Amino acid sequence: MDGFLSWWDGVELWLSGLGFVLQTLVVMPVVLALAYGLALLLDAFLGNTIRVRNRITAAVRGRVETKD
């Protein structure tokens, strides 16, 4: 863990030493890739959750209608 933290401190120092434009050029691809990955995961999770909810709702409504 100490090795990783030491490396991370070095990255932070290197990045903070860059100018604003260079910092932006380095950081934005990483941030955009992480945001895109998170969006894909949330889309898949929410899509599956809605699909399961709709199946349960349809099953419950189907049972209620057959009882009448």
User: What confidence score (pLDDT) does residue 61 get?
Assistant: 87
Structural domain containing residue 55? 20-67
User: What confidence score (pLDDT) does residue 64 get?
Assistant: 61
Query: Does 13 fall in a domain?
Result: no
Q: What is the mean pLDDT of each run of 10 residues along the chain (68 residues)?
A: 93 93 94 98 97 92 63
pTM score of the predicted model: 0.64
From residue 67, alpha-carbon distances to 8, 22, 54, 56 in Å are 64, 68, 20, 17
Q: Contact at 8 Å (CB) between 7 and 19?
A: no
User: What confidence score (pLDDT) does residue 68 get?
Assistant: 47
Query: Does 38 fall in a domain?
Result: yes
User: What confidence score (pLDDT) does residue 65 get?
Assistant: 57
Query: Does 6 fall in a domain?
Result: no
Query: Does 62 fall in a domain?
Result: yes
Domain count, the chain: 1
Query: Does 9 fall in a domain?
Result: no
